[in-house]
Chains A and B, each alone.
Chain A
Amino acid sequence: MAAAGLVLEGRGRHGGLPARHAVVRWSWRMLRREWRRQVLLLTLVACTVGAAVCGLSATHAYNATADGTFGSARAVLHMTGGSDPARLGSQLGAAATGLAPDQIITHRSVPVPGSVATLDVRGQDPHGRIGSPRLRLLDGRYPAAGSATEIALTPSAAREFHARLGGPVTLGGHELTVVGLVENPAKLDDTFALAVPAGTAATLVAGQPATTVDVLTDAPRPTVQTFRPGGDASLSIQYRQSLDRNANDAFILAVATVALLLVALVATAGFAVVAQRRLRQIGMLGAMGATDRQLRLVLVGHGLLTGLVGTAAGAVLGAAAWVPVAPLLERPAGHRIDRLDVPWLFLAVLLVVAVLSPTAAAWWPARAVARVPAVQALSARPPAPVRARQSVAAAVVLLAGGVVSLVASHRTNGLLVSLGIVGVVGGVLLFSPLVVRALAATAGRMPFTTRLVLRDLGRHQARSGAALAAITLAIGLPVAISVLAGVNQSTPASGNLSAHEVLLRTSRDPSVVPLLSAADMARQQSAVDAYAARLGATAVPLTMAYDPDVRPMAGVDGKTGRLVVDAGHRTGSNSWSGSSGLWVATPATVHAFGLDPASAAGAALVTRQPARLALDLLGSASRQVPIRTVHVAGASAYTSEPANFLTPEAVAAHRWRTAVTGWYISAPHDLTDAQRSAARDMAATAGLVSETRAAQAGLGTLRWASVAAGAALALGVLAMTVGTIRAESADDLRTLTATGAGSGARRALTAATAGALALAGTLLGAAGAYAVLVPAYARDLGLLRHVPYLPLTTAIPGVPLLALATGWLIAGREPAGIARRLLE
């Protein structure tokens, strides 16, 4: 506006470069001057960036596409030639002609004593071009090429066979010398014995004929698809999945987004605090003639500097943490991790965005504080809380969009998963101001200290809301990780038995009941009972039926026995699919598995598998007996747990006989490694085979580490926020002290502030975690039934109680005399 007497033109509306320089200079000076106050914010930003760097690297490494099967090959052809070396040799010849294979790996299975498991004896050239990523020498040396007496074992195979380096080991009845310890670095649970073949066409593995062959090739897909090995060989082809990398990238992107959101929230909470602390100075600057943009620049400049310093420190911290964390992840990830195999591009983007996040996070408090009238700012009164209606509307929209995305993703569409996670997390976080207002609204009926605290939280809504959002995310992440770890531990596809179950069988071959003397049977029963007693459990005998009219036959483990009755359905003119175990519903099994015989009156077979209703009986002299099958409740999530039962009435009707073929033990606690090992030893001694759940160590560590990190971050945010809220309320505190309030009242104020924020944050965080997981697992809600009570109870009452106790302990000091608030 041109006006008489006034000069308002020229030199730029906002002062140009000199003005920006002056404001940033002041920001930098304040950052340096108040470095002790900034340490907490910088530490939080650095720790969050560090956690994001380490977490991103871990996510990348954990989800790296497994090359344990492929090595560096594009495709693997599995050929089964039985035990005929000539036939296998002709197949290898065909492969050599048609595919020019890069590497051939031969296999032979041998039984593990005392276990249902078998060991893969593998013939592989350790220096093969594309198979070598599947092999690493840990100790000793590789066996000599073509040697029929030397073998190398993985550590797990050495344990199972009680073998040691340089000692003997008997595999499938042949004695060999262990010359080395090896592993598959791309698949650590790969248990095998390694022999080195004499050449690419060799069909002997450690002097014994191979039964299957893997041909690893880089040949183009059309060539592989048209390859025919000839004869009646069974052939299956696996191609490396190129989509895995995309899905992995999408997941990493989602993790990075949430991590950056956490950085931004921590920074926002911090800058809301800084903004309030600088309010009077900013008011002075406004009175001096600074424009809104210049006032915003004070905090935005501070944000940029914080971002630069915090990100640099965080990157160093994250890299330093990654070095010791990487080996800890190898076991849960199932493969060795190269510390330099990190997503460099994602990390670079993360660091750039991490620098910008505090800058962007500072913008909102800067905008709010620049709008505060100078007179109000000079009096240091916080801006009036804005209505939460808009944020609630945005929260509802984001939440709904996120839920829809997650449900539609089926957990397979990476983009929808990422959008869903971001939507739900954003939605939940936007509820924070509403929660703060709700807390303040409930203050009227509370005791004096709580009332004052809740109203202060409401008065300082900007910083309380940001802090609550940061705590929510800090707690929500570990809760989600804990639940997911529980899901992974209980996924049926990955579980044969639960961690507290043991299944013992009298034969490795489930289709044959061995013919044993009464003395042998008594000895087995005694050994099993003794083992069960050591676990504090009872062994439930498992009985199978057999047709006495069917002649005895040899099982796969060489034991002579009777063919057991099984149930299944016809899959072809001359083929059947069995039920993998048909047990007689004795009173003991009815009790152990919670069957209800009354609901299956008249049925020949009861099953806990819903899809298994059209079954015929197999194994009797008549071969095929149509039966009535009834489904009963209590579906098992585990693949080896008995699920199909033959009723005693059916046994009697067909005049079959029964024999004990195994025992089921359900211990009152999860089995330790020593107890699993004892089961195997007992079974080997008593002529039985045992089956227990494969250990999934590492997920528990991940669960606890995430809870600890989340709790520490939440407490850090709390310390930063509560400290400043109480500092702003120092006048109230002095008034209280002057009116006779003692240290108890002062302690109660700080403790209640910390406790209220922490409780609200943890509850909202837990709710947010389930808001992500429930729609993501909408079709498999049963997987979420394993609630991780211990980590959850540690996080939810633990963090608020710790915050409460810390607040109580540190807040007893009597405030200094009536001090005046000076800018300097």
Chain B
Amino acid sequence: MTGVPPLELRGVSRTYGEGAAAVHALTDVDLTVSAGELVAVMGPSGSGKSTLLTIAGSLEEPTTGDVLIEGTPLSGLRRNDRARLRRRHIGYVFQDFNLLAGLTAVENITMPLELDGVRTRQARAAGLKALEDLGLADRADAFPDELSGGQRQRIALARALVGERRLLLADEPTGALDSHSGEGVMRLIRSACRSGAAAVLVTHDAQLASWADRVVFVRDGRVVDSTPPPPGPESLLPGATGREAR
């Protein structure tokens, strides 16, 4: 992996509150995610995993330190510029799907494109293509409450990747799914990375972390370790050779 990394955190700290009531959610975190790389962030509850993800995605600002997306520091961007950055370069996936009720599957996928000014017809074509890739073309006009949990999360994933986005941030994306659906979602994330996207996956499930190229451990707001993942069950599949088997 060469060139400018899609995501880089330099000495990022985040503190909530002041004085005696101050809570240090993150302390001096450095993290670089390269294009095509899937990084899993693990740690106990309250360790700062989700804060790391929201800061990386420009939803929150660090108290100190810099976040660079494609080499551009976020600190100099205005609120609306950060919004534009998110809709063009960053995709989010949450545990509870967060699809917009009232919009069909294809409309949910195309929403970031339309917000960016892409014409409805063009955006719909891109959305239908994404649905086709997911094998959900026949569910294009279904509303979220007509879809299964696995289908919803795949739609959310398609929405996070539609357009030219190259950074995927996922917070417990399989937390609300059964193991079969969860595996399907992980395969899609892995596939996106193979296509050149960088992904950060927050989880406390070691089995999911085994899909990653690298696992970062966070405790009390600090990165305490960064290792290759332990071999997952998929490595036992016939013909599998490390990462490529995924």
Q: Chain A residues in contact with chain B, CB under 8 A?
A: 1, 3-8, 11-19, 21-23, 25-26, 29-30, 32-33, 280-281, 284-294, 373-375, 378, 820, 822-824
Cα–Cα, bound, A294→B71 (Å): 27
Most buried by B among A8, A286, A373: A8
Evaluate whether A288 and B112 lie within 8 angstroms (CB atoms) in the complex, with A7-B88, A15-B117, A18-B117 already known. Answer: yes
Q: Are B92 and A288 neighbours in the complex by a CB distance under 8 Å?
A: yes
Other A-B contacts than A288-B92, A820-B96, 4 sampled, CB-CB below 8 A, are A5-B71, A7-B89, A14-B80, A15-B115
Cα–Cα, bound, A32→B102 (Å): 9
Q: Are B86 and A22 neighbours in the complex by a CB distance under 8 Å?
A: no
Chain B contacts for A6, CB-based, 8 A: 69-72, 85, 88-89
Q: Are B102 and A33 neighbours in the complex by a CB distance under 8 Å?
A: yes
Cα–Cα, bound, A6→B77 (Å): 12
Evaluate whether A8 and B60 lie within 8 angstroms (CB atoms) in the complex, with A1-B77, A288-B92, A824-B144 already known. Answer: no
Q: Chain B residues in contact with chain A, CB under 8 A?
A: 4, 54, 57, 59-60, 69-72, 76-81, 83-90, 92, 94, 96-103, 107, 110-112, 114-120, 123, 144-145, 152, 159, 164
Chain B contacts for A11, CB-based, 8 A: 116-118
Chain B contacts for A293, CB-based, 8 A: 80
Picked from A1, A22, A285, A374, the residue with its CB within 8 Å of the CB of B120 is A22
Q: Are B70 and A373 neighbours in the complex by a CB distance under 8 Å?
A: no
Picked from B54, B87, B102, B152, the residue with its CB within 8 Å of the CB of A288 is B87
Q: Closest CB-CB distance, B205 to chain A, in whole Å?
A: 19
Q: Are B116 and A286 neighbours in the complex by a CB distance under 8 Å?
A: no
Q: Are B86 and A824 neighbours in the complex by a CB distance under 8 Å?
A: no
Q: Who on chain B is nearest to A824 by CB?
A: B144
Chain A contacts for B86, CB-based, 8 A: 287-289
Cα–Cα, bound, A16→B115 (Å): 8
Q: Closest CB-CB distance, A823 to chain B, in whole Å?
A: 6
Q: Who on chain B is nearest to A12 by CB?
A: B117
Picked from A21, A32, A287, A824, the residue with its CB within 8 Å of the CB of B114 is A21
Q: Who on chain A is nearest to B4 by CB?
A: A5
Chain A contacts for B90, CB-based, 8 A: 289
Complex A-B: 30 CB contacts under 8 Å: A6-B71, A6-B85, A8-B81, A11-B116, A13-B84, A15-B116, A15-B117, A18-B123, A19-B116, A19-B117, A22-B114, A22-B115, A280-B98, A281-B100, A285-B115, A287-B59, A287-B86, A288-B86, A289-B83, A289-B84, A289-B90, A289-B115, A291-B79, A291-B84, A292-B80, A293-B80, A294-B115, A373-B60, A375-B59, A823-B100
Cα–Cα, bound, A11→B116 (Å): 7
Q: Closest CB-CB distance, B32 to chain A, in whole Å?
A: 14
Chain B contacts for A7, CB-based, 8 A: 88-89, 164
Evaluate whether A285 and B100 lie within 8 angstroms (CB atoms) in the complex, with A3-B71, A15-B114 already known. Answer: yes
Most buried by B among A4, A15, A281: A15
Chain B contacts for A373, CB-based, 8 A: 59-60
Q: Are B115 and A4 neighbours in the complex by a CB distance under 8 Å?
A: no
Closest 6 CB pairs between A and B? A289-B87, A5-B70, A29-B102, A11-B117, A3-B72, A22-B114
Q: Are B79 and A292 neighbours in the complex by a CB distance under 8 Å?
A: yes
Q: Are A288 and B111 neighbours in the complex by a CB distance under 8 Å?
A: yes
Picked from B71, B84, B98, B118, the residue with its CB within 8 Å of the CB of A4 is B71
Q: Closest CB-CB distance, B236 to chain A, in whole Å?
A: 34
Chain B contacts for A29, CB-based, 8 A: 102-103
Q: Who on chain B is nearest to A371 by CB?
A: B79
Evaluate whether A21 and B120 lie within 8 angstroms (CB atoms) in the complex, with A286-B83, A287-B86, A824-B101 already known. Answer: yes
Q: Closest CB-CB distance, A305 to chain B, in whole Å?
A: 13
Q: Closest CB-CB distance, B157 to chain A, in whole Å?
A: 13
Chain B contacts for A290, CB-based, 8 A: 83, 87, 115
Cα–Cα, bound, A75→B107 (Å): 71
Q: Closest CB-CB distance, A720 to chain B, in whole Å?
A: 21
Cα–Cα, bound, A412→B164 (Å): 68
Chain A contacts for B96, CB-based, 8 A: 820, 822-823
Q: Who on chain A is nearest to B122 by CB?
A: A18
Evaluate whether A18 and B100 lie within 8 angstroms (CB atoms) in the complex, with A5-B72, A289-B85, A375-B60 already known. Answer: no
Cα–Cα, bound, A280→B86 (Å): 17
Q: Are B118 and A18 neighbours in the complex by a CB distance under 8 Å?
A: yes
Q: Are A30 and B102 neighbours in the complex by a CB distance under 8 Å?
A: yes
Cα–Cα, bound, A5→B88 (Å): 12
Q: Are B115 and A288 neighbours in the complex by a CB distance under 8 Å?
A: yes
Chain A contacts for B79, CB-based, 8 A: 291-292
Q: Closest CB-CB distance, B54 to chain A, in whole Å?
A: 5
Cα–Cα, bound, A822→B80 (Å): 27
Q: Closest CB-CB distance, A61 to chain B, in whole Å?
A: 44
Q: Are B88 and A8 neighbours in the complex by a CB distance under 8 Å?
A: yes
Q: Are A287 and B57 neighbours in the complex by a CB distance under 8 Å?
A: yes
Chain B contacts for A280, CB-based, 8 A: 98
Chain B contacts for A4, CB-based, 8 A: 4, 70-72
Chain A contacts for B69, CB-based, 8 A: 5-6
Cα–Cα, bound, A349→B100 (Å): 37
